[in-house]
Amino acid sequence: MAALNAVADLTVEGDVAIITLNSPPVNALSSPVREGIHSGIAKAIADSAVKAIVLICEGRTFIAGADITEFGKPPKGPSLAEAQKMIEDAPKPVIAAIHGTALGGGLEVALTCHYRVAVPSAKCGLPEVNLGLLPGAGGTQRLPRIVGVEKALEMMTSGQHVPAKQCHEMGLVDELVAEGELRAGAIAFAKKLVAENRPLKKVRDLNDKMIAARGKPEIFAEFRKANARKFRGFLAPEYNIRCIEAAVNQPFDEGMKTERTLFMELMQGTQSAAQRYVFFAERQVWKIPDVPEDTPLIPVRKVGIIGAGTMGGGIAMNFANVGIPVTLVETKQEALDRGLSVVRKNYENTAKRGRLKMEDVDKRMALLTGSLDLNALADCDMIIEAVFENMEIKKEVFAKLDKIVKQGAVLATNTSALNVNEIASATTRPEAVIGMHFFSPANVMRLLEVVRGDKTSKSVIATSMQIGKKIGKIAALSGVCPGFIGNRILRARTLQAQAMLLEGAMPWDIDKVLYDFGLPMGPFAMSDLAGLDIGWSKETSKSATIREVLCEMDRRGQKTGGGYYDYDEQRNARPSPVTEKIIREFAAKAGNAPRTITEQEILERCVYPMINEGARILEEKIAIRASDVDIVWINGYGWPVYRGGPMFYADIVGLPTVVAKLKEYAPKLGPEFVLSPLLEKLAAEGKRLSDVK
């Protein structure tokens, strides 16, 4: 074996050369990896004893893509295109041997090889779209030539990792080899090619699938239409589609030029910068500076959940989904039955849509046990309380748990805003108490805010984060403050949205601006969906706010056919003249002459105070880093990922602009508004929020 460089080796076995890459963690195409491929192929070509070349990787995966950390830096060594040309133009067959994942640039390298073999557990994909990009190394021109237009559209706009078996069926992989025997299998395949004198199959030369799709623009039109909602606001899916259109309608080399132009445009834009930032943010969020990675974890084999309402049932599903048994405790049999039947219905609906087998519905339900007795939780390793949002009730529940539950268990609360320290004070073991704030619907929403109390132990923090990962959530750590990270920032926006109603904007004006910005819905549509009566009661209602008046009129949101909006039978929203009249009356009472509020002001008044609140959260050390705040807002509230979260967005706008605007609006922002000293300081120093660590 001869080392080509620090990350690549070349061996010759009989008449087969084997280039092995070993660049942990994921063999990304850094300059040494490109160098290794380039020089390895050149050497193997020059060696007249070599008849075929295998490209294989050590470690957990085949090449998982370009090295994202190199983006934006000056290129070093051979370019990816040069390495690929060396492969494709080789006069001897080159075979990619795939395990783990062949992604992005990795699959594009494999597509310049003349053949591809893979183990059954391998996956292939072009996930660039999820980084706001398109495959920039010929993938847009080569993939459709093998798998056809429809499949290429699906793969490239979703970024999905396609299992090897499916890849084999669609011709992307030429042969499957036995699991664990990739090297031997690939060499045997290479020998077979040589023995059969098989031709060098260059994907770039395949044209039949392109010709078949030529003159059929409806394929693309229909695809765009069918996915319009999913792609809304994103540039990358559309650019990927245009590249496939180019593959169909242009000669290969022209198509490559189109790919390059569109790739560069995306690479230089803010959407891709945001999406690449989010890629790393999602990996950073798990790292807690004062909780080392080797902190001992509490094994969670059995979970207890208290309250089988909206949240309790959804939370229970998360655990049943990964095979962890759950005991659900309620106060009344009726509530318990209702909770469990909602869970069953949810599972059955998933099964009806073909995403779960009927027998799995029963298996998961069998993991859920109901009880009316808290004592049933004595041997649970983790308890999650999801009873009414009321401090007295929560403290009572925790005091009881303290006496019942075995020592060493995690005692978590799903409170959305109450003080976790105060809840912990009801026990004699505050180190075991933590917030685990799920978002509704808890079985669907990806975010979990883990809220550490002043006394929460490191092992309880580490265990809660780890269990979050296990149940498929993205967990962000927060300190204790009203509303934690997410709802505290939401409140800053809500205050402004409410204030603007009294100044002359209508709910639909405000909602439209935020929808156009990329959020799934604005604050008033969200209220109507959730129900205006959350926390409202007829007995205490005093017609003091617009919301109270709407509730008193039984306009409690979508469920009553009206709230801020009017709804038809299909729950389509229309601006409501009734609401408008109520708002105008409130504005007049407040002595405000209605004015026209521009869309720009609506956006800035909603978003800049959120940024300010995020900065305060950072200076109070409630969040570890700005990117954690962004993770919360992307995964819990639908902030568009192509805008990178409120903190990243602030950096794009420029902190001096944000601060200047906040100062200008200050008289309108209400008594609660306090400009964040950190924000002001960073702006003055020309720094960015996302640099705060």
Which residues are designated catalytic? 108, 128
Where in 249-308 is the site for ligand NAI (CB under 6 A)?
306-308
State in angstroms the smallest separation of the CB of 295 from ligand 3HC: 17
Judged by beta carbon distances under 5 to 8 A according to partner kind, the member of ligand NAI, ligand 3HC, none in contact with residue 135 is ligand 3HC
Least distance CB 137 / ligand 3HC (angstroms): 4
Residue partners of 299: CB distance under 8 A and separation at least 6: 381
Find out whether 195 and 133 touch, Cβ atoms under 8 Å.
Answer: no
DSSP 663: H
Task: Write down the least CB distance from residue 320 to ligand NAI, Å.
Answer: 17
Query: Smallest distance from the beta carbon of 565 to ligand 3HC, in angstroms?
Result: 40
Site for ligand 3HC in 262-321 (CB under 6 A): 283
Strand ranges in 339-413 using DSSP code E only, listed in sequence order: 368-371, 382-385, 410-413
Q: Which of ligand NAI, ligand 3HC, none has residue 136 at its interface (CB below 5 to 8 Å by kind)? A: ligand 3HC
Q: Which does residue 131 bind out of ligand NAI, ligand 3HC, none, counting CB within 5 to 8 angstroms by kind? A: ligand 3HC
Give CA–CA dist 93/114, Å, rounded: 6
Torsion on CA atoms 235, 236, 238, 240, rounded to nearest 10: 160
Which of ligand 3HC, ligand NAI, none does 310 bind, CB closer than 5 to 8 A by kind? Answer: ligand NAI
Which of 247/387 has CB closer to ligand NAI? 387
Beta carbon nearer to ligand 3HC, 163 or 520: 163
Select 59 or 171, whichever has its Cβ closest to ligand 3HC: 59
Binding positions for ligand NAI, 402-461, rule CB under 6 A:
414-416, 438-440
Contact call for residue 641 and ligand 3HC (CB under 6 A): no
343: phi then psi, degrees, rounded to nearest 5: -60, -50
Beta strands in 290-385 (DSSP E): 303-306, 326-329, 368-371, 382-385
Of residues 315-374, those binding ligand NAI (CB under 6 A): 329-331, 335
User: What, of ligand 3HC, ligand NAI, none, does residue 335 touch, CB below 5 to 8 Å by kind?
Assistant: ligand NAI
Task: For 161-190, give the DSSP string.
Answer: -EEHHHHHHTTSSSEE--TT-HHHHHHHHH
Q: How far apart are CA 162 and CA 116, in angstroms?
A: 14
DSSP, res 571: -
Residue carrying the six token digits 């020998």: 191
Query: What does 212 bind: ligand NAI, ligand 3HC, none (CB cut-off 5 to 8 Å by kind)?
Result: none
Instruction: Please tell me whether residue 25 binds ligand 3HC under the rule CB under 6 A.
Output: yes
**Contact yes or no for 510/602 (Cβ under 8 A):** yes
3-state DSSP: the chain helix, strand, coil percent, rounded to 5? 50, 15, 35
> Among 104, 171, 175, which Cα is nearest to 134's?
104
Which of 151/276 has CB closer to ligand 3HC?
276
Q: Could you tell me which stretch among 151-159, 210-218, 388-396, 461-469 binds ligand NAI (CB under 6 A)?
A: 388-396
Does residue number 67 form part of the binding site for ligand 3HC (CB under 6 A)?
yes
Q: Applying CB under 6 A, which of residues 21, 98, 311, 450 lies at the interface with ligand NAI?
A: 311
Site for ligand NAI contains 152 (CB under 6 A):
no
Binding flag, residue 127, ligand 3HC (CB under 6 A): yes
Q: How many residues bind ligand NAI (CB under 6 A)?
A: 23
Q: Is 111 a binder of ligand 3HC (CB under 6 A)?
A: no
* Count of other CB atoms within 10 angstroms of residue 499: 16
Q: Is residue 507 close enough to count as binding ligand 3HC by CB under 6 A?
A: no
Among 32, 40, 78, 136, binds ligand 3HC (CB under 6 A): 136
135 binds ligand 3HC (CB under 6 A): yes
Give the distance from CA 34 to its chain's centroid: 30
Listed in sequence order, the residues at least 6 apart from 223 whose beta carbon sits closer than 8 Å to its beta carbon are 150, 153, 241
Interaction of residue 28 with ligand 3HC, rule CB under 6 A: yes
Q: Using CB under 6 A, which of 68, 351, 376, 553 touches ligand 3HC?
A: 68
- Of residues 185, 175, 179, 57, the one with CA closest to residue 109: 57
- Residue 430 binding target from ligand 3HC, ligand NAI, none, CB below 5 to 8 Å by type: none
Q: Looking at beta carbons, which residue is closest to ligand NAI?
A: 309
Residues 6+ apart with CB under 8 A from 341: none
Half-sphere exposure of residue 61, counting CA atoms within 13 Å on the CB side?
19
Residue found under tokens 């990996």: 283
Peptide bond into 441 cis (omega under 30): yes
What is the three-class DSSP state of 452? strand
Which partner, ligand 3HC, ligand NAI, none, binds residue 101 by CB below 5 to 8 Å per kind? Answer: ligand 3HC
Q: What are the φ/ψ torsions at residue 144 (nearest 5 degrees)?
A: -60, -25
Question: Segment contacting ligand 3HC (CB under 6 A): 102-110, 172-180, 446-454, 588-596?
Answer: 102-110
Number of residues that bind ligand 3HC (CB under 6 A): 24
- Give the residue ranges of DSSP H helices in 162-309: 164-169, 182-196, 208-213, 218-226, 228-231, 236-249, 252-268, 270-284
**Region from 21-29, 183-191, 527-535, 586-594 binding ligand 3HC, contact rule CB under 6 A:** 21-29
Residue numbers at the binding site for ligand NAI (CB under 6 A)? 306-312, 329-331, 335, 386-389, 393, 397, 414-416, 438-440
Residue numbers at the binding site for ligand 3HC (CB under 6 A)? 25-26, 28, 61, 64-69, 101, 103-105, 108, 127-128, 131, 133, 135-137, 139, 283
